[in-house]
Structure 1
Amino acid sequence: MARFHTLPVAAVDRLTDDSVALTFAVPPELREAYRFAPGQHLALRRLADGAEIRRTYSICAPAPAPGDDGPRTLRVGVRLVDGGAFSTYALKEVNIGDELEVMTPAGRFTLDPAPGLYAAIVGGSGITPVLSIVSTLLAREPGARFCLIRGDRTAASTMFLEEVADLKDRYPERFQLVTVLSREEQQAGLPTGRLDRQRLTGLLPALLPVDEVAGWFLCGPYGLVQGAEQTLRGLGVPRTRIHEEIFHVDNGDAPKARIAAPAHSTVTARLDGRGGTWPVQDGESLLDTVLRNRPDAPYACKGGVCGTCRAFLVSGEVRMDRNFALEPEETDAGYVLACQSHPATEKVELDFDR
């Protein structure tokens, strides 16, 4: 069960003009609780003007090795979003020694290190979870190789530039780096442009044997991830080898299915070993219903992106507005995003503990 704990800020590192890396110190008694897999994320919480604000940020550090006592620090990357209440606070106000509420790690955009060839296509801050994935993989698995294809606006706006360069220096034979800038010419490398579907269709087969890649990791804005997935499927890559995490989803990126709840709908939810049944108010999501009665219900983005509110549908039927977090295997197995789910039957039962 995901829980919040208060952690002190140990470092604030400016990455670019509009991004920082925040490092939290983890006390010994919480290190096991904050053990994470490479690619997972943290939800941060604060109160501002009496309102609670939660945002999710990916961990960018290598994962702790199996058998150790867990991470001593946690590092996340934060990029400024126009009008973003939390990102503005992180860039302009957070200092070393401040304390923030941090949820224990979550997310399934992960890789269990194993031999083989892996690749990632990322845009902007989408580098953050992939940095954790590639650094963990190359350090733990001598038989692994990784190709990172990243797109950014300019060199000055590129997050974790030094960290990625260090990986290239440390693993020159096993780490391939390809950078594409959309607003700046490079002295060497690929011409300026976006990593759109047309470009990727010609680029990927020229870079690596596409059919030999054991796992593709796509992370960034909705358009880039969708275009990269369509490119890979067009090149014959099985969907099971493609893993996605989307950042910066706009309301117009995908249609929402507006489903009116049946009259007198109820939701029964099991959470942290305890259950309850409550009426669903007209138009609200199942997560909002549960939160009115169980404020400890897990969530972060409420946008169908992070997957923190994933729950197992025990009985009844629901309709999800949108889903950017769950893999088809998860929805086929009966999992839903509570923040996007509305009842389609008079009784719905969810289990957050599965």
Structure 2
Amino acid sequence: MFHPLRVREVERLTDDSVAVTLTVPPEFREAFRHTPGQHIALRRIVAGEEIRRTYSICAPATEEPAEPVLRVGIRLVDGGEFSTYALKELSVGDTVEAMAPTGRFVLEPRAGHFAAVVGGSGITPVLSIAATLLARQPSARFCLIRSDRTAASTMFLEEVADLKDRYPDRFQLVTALSREEQQAGLPSGRLDEERLAGLLPALLPVADIDGWFLCGPFGLVQGAERALRGLGVARTRIHEEIFHVDDDDGAGTGTGTGTGTASVTGASAATGSMHTAAPPTAATLTATLDGRSGNWPVRDGESLLETVLRSRADAPYACKGGVCGTCRAFLVSGEVRMDRNYALELEETEAGYVLACQSHPATAEVELDFDR
């Protein structure tokens, strides 16, 4: 469900990014209290057409009785309708429709030593994770390894510098610029798998890190995961959120959290299927949503989400690209083929969860439950 929220502040971060703060009315405060690392879906109607995008919350998480701070980072995407609107038109006092925070790329504050490898706007959810962790857990430590094109394109410079000043003994910052030399820090260049495999053991006791958080473009996240797995890190300690998938990554383009996100928590982003047999000539979908069930014929070529949306406009979704996880549903019966998955971890797919926006029937009858 979407709620109208008023824009409290629009802060320019770089030439192509802003931070937008939304005011949460008292009646919605508990619904919008987020876990560090979560994102929200925003909606705008243009000429009768609905545009949805998901953006990560960059503010630290608050606890009662404090008011939740709903601040998101938005970077301009070429041709992006919502990001263009946010950077060029959105003003204080405007109203934006938002869904309550969701997402499983999270860290509930606890004692331990944690680390993140981020690229570009991938800093957005990690900023919330690190700031909340360090404030609530006096013994916790956090290492942030970030990659950006240039210093001028780096989002949240002041916020990260503040963490370094406030927690000098518990917050470690390593910066790499891919298109610009810097006076101190790492030599310029991309943080690819080979470079990270050599760099990470020199910076950290890799095996002793309690959780790794990888966020940013597909190539960076996948390279970092392969480097960590090569260094012996268990998959269960690796949490991923992909912010952009390019055509040359072999899986099409998806936008959602942050610049538009793709969320992967604790599992490799991968094109995959729940079933490989030929699709049936005709199929029927039964779906439960908000306690109400219905069944509908699946039209040729449409996803199961599209089938539901024909009769239930309240079906949950944001990106429709297999990257944000908003349309996650439990497969009660039948079999489906999933075109790609950048949002569900392995444990979720093994438990029977699918992405409705990427799922097509592989049996004559399929049943989904969006409420589980």
Q: Which TM bucket (shorter chain)?
A: over 0.9
Equivalent AA in structure 2 for residue 348 of structure 1: V
Using a 3 Å threshold, how does the CA distance of structure 1 residues 178 and 232 change in structure 2: closer, same or farther?
Answer: same
Tell me how far apart the structure 2 counterparts of residues 215 and 101 of structure 1 sit (CA, whole Å).
Answer: 33
Equivalent-residue separation in structure 2 for 1:173 and 1:73 (angstroms): 27
Helix, strand or coil at the partner of 2:197: helix
Q: 1:313 aligned to 319, 331, 339, which one?
A: 331
Question: Which stretches in structure 2 are left out of the alignment for 5+ residues?
Answer: 252-270
1:199-230: CA deviations, max 9, x gaps? 10110000000000000000000000000000
Matched to 2:355, the amino acid is L
Aligned positions of 1:184-203 closer than 5 A = 184-203=180-199
Matches within 5 A, 1:174-213: 174-213=170-209
Residue 252 of structure 1, CA deviation = 4.0
Q: Which residue of 2 aligns with 1:114?
A: 110
1:156 aligns to what SS in structure 2?
helix
The equivalent of 2:96 in structure 1 is: 100
Q: Tell me the secondary structure at the aligned position of residue 159 of structure 1.
A: coil
Amino acid at match of 1:279: P
- Considering only aligned residues, what root-mean-square deviation do their CA atoms show, in Å? 1.2
**Where do residues 266-305 of structure 1 align in structure 2 (5 Å cutoff)?**
266-305=284-323
Match of 1:135 in 2: 131
Deviation at residue 111 of structure 1 after TM alignment: 0.5
Q: State the 1:196 CA deviation.
A: 0.4
**1:36 aligned to 2:34?**
yes
TM-score normalised according to structure 1 size: 0.97
Aligned to 1:4: 2
- State which of 341, 344, 349 in structure 1 corresponds to 2:359: 341
**Residue 122 of structure 1, CA deviation:** 0.3
Distance in 1, Cα, partners of 2:95 & 2:202? 48
Contact preservation (8 Å) 2:218, 2:242: yes
Preserved contact between residue 36 and residue 105 of structure 1 (Cα < 8 Å): yes
**CA apart distance, 1:69:** 4.1
Residue number among 76, 84, 91 corresponding to 2:72 in the alignment: 76
- Counterpart amino acid of residue 121 in structure 1: V
Aligned to 1:53: 51
Match of 1:126 in 2: 122
* Partner Cα distance (2:165, 2:222) in 1: 31
Aligned AA for 1:51?
E
Name the SS of the counterpart of 2:152 in structure 1.
coil
8 Å contact from structure 1 (residues 32, 70) kept in 2: no
In 1, the alpha carbon distance for the partners of 2:192 and 2:282 equals 47
User: Contact between 1:27 and 1:72, CA under 8 Å: does it hold in 2?
Assistant: no
Q: Percent identity?
A: 75
Corresponding letter in the other structure for 2:326? T
| SS in structure 1 of the partner of residue 249 of structure 2 | coil
Residue 64 of structure 1 deviates from its aligned partner by 1.4
Could you say which residue in structure 2 is the equivalent of 1:330?
348
Q: 1:228 to 1:327 in 2, by over 3 A?
A: same
- Name the structure 1 match of 2:153: 157
- Describe the superposition over 1:268-312 as per-residue Cα deviations: whole angstroms up to 9, x where unpaired: 111011110011101111001011110000000111111011001
Q: What secondary structure is seen at the aligned counterpart in 2 of 1:108?
A: coil
What TM-score do the two structures reach when normalised by structure 2? 0.92
Aligned to 2:11: 13
1:73: Cα distance to partner?
3.0
Following superposition, the deviation at residue 319 of structure 1 comes to 1.1
Equivalent residue letter for 2:213? F
**Unmatched 5+ residue regions in structure 1?**
none
Q: 8 Å contact 1:32–1:69 — kept in the other structure?
A: no
Which of 58, 62, 65 is the equivalent residue of 1:64? 62
Answer whether contact 1:40 1:108 (CA < 8 A) is retained.
yes
